[in-house]
Chains A and B, each alone.
Chain A
Amino acid sequence: EAGVAQSPRYKIIEKRQSVAFWCNPISGHATLYWYQQILGQGPKLLIQFQNNGVVDDSQLPKDRFSAERLKGVDSTLKIQPAKLEDSAVYLCASSIGTGELFFGEGSRLTVL
């Protein structure tokens, strides 16, 4: 079974630039999550989708972060403009809805 796919794996940008990350969840998984993992910390939920609807985006900095999940499958997370403190690994995860989260390899963002 294919896992959660993410791209790009690494991205370096300067502050105030924009960046987008893409995630393809496991086939059939209705729930998709974006987490931010800052070095040395646990994953912090940014946004959760159920199919193409948003379940929770309470911790998403909406002035600079946006996410969408068109057609209830793939998702993109965008940051514009980026700040130094956005340097982190952005983890996408999916779930069938009743238990285990399956994580992607993550997209490591460095903001200079």
Chain B
Amino acid sequence: GENVEQHPSTLSVQEGDSAVIKCTYSDSASNYFPWYKQELGKRPQLIIDIRSNVGEKKDQRIAVTLNKTAKHFSLHITETQPEDSAVYFCAASKATGNQFYFGTGTSLTVIP
């Protein structure tokens, strides 16, 4: 099966700085890579995703990049704000079977 690794496990940044979270995956057949944000005690919610036919995707302060050759993808948050503080999970999925495999999570703290 798929193995998704995520780094770092914790990340603290000053408000206004950028944050980068990295994930690697093992199965070259994976072709869909979502990122979920989970605030304390709440459900994970999709914040951005990317498919394997695209190298980069942006949505306001959030961007995701994908390197299929190296099998890694990254989440970039610019101009961080205190409300960005949460746990972020990456995931990898294949179209066949639609199974999702999650990373271990990154706890992001934005210091005001």
Contact = CB atoms under 8 A, between A and B. Distances in A.
A97 B95 CA distance: 9
Contact of A42 (B1, B42, B46, B89): B89
B99 A56 contact: yes
B61 interface: no
Interface residues of B, number: 24
Nearest to A105: B43
Contacts of A99: 32, 34, 49
Interface residues of A, number: 25
A103 B44 contact: yes
B105 A45 contact: no
Contacts of A56: 97, 99
A48 B100 CA distance: 10
B73 interface: no
A91 B44 contact: yes
Contacts of B4: 42
Nearest to A96: B98
A48 B97 CA distance: 9
Interface in A72-112: 91, 95, 97-101, 103-106
A40 interface: yes
Contacts of B42: 105
B6 interface: yes
A40 B102 CA distance: 13
Interface of B: 1, 4, 6, 32, 34, 36, 42-46, 49, 89, 91, 95, 97-105
5 contacts: A42-B103, A56-B99, A99-B32, A103-B43, A103-B45
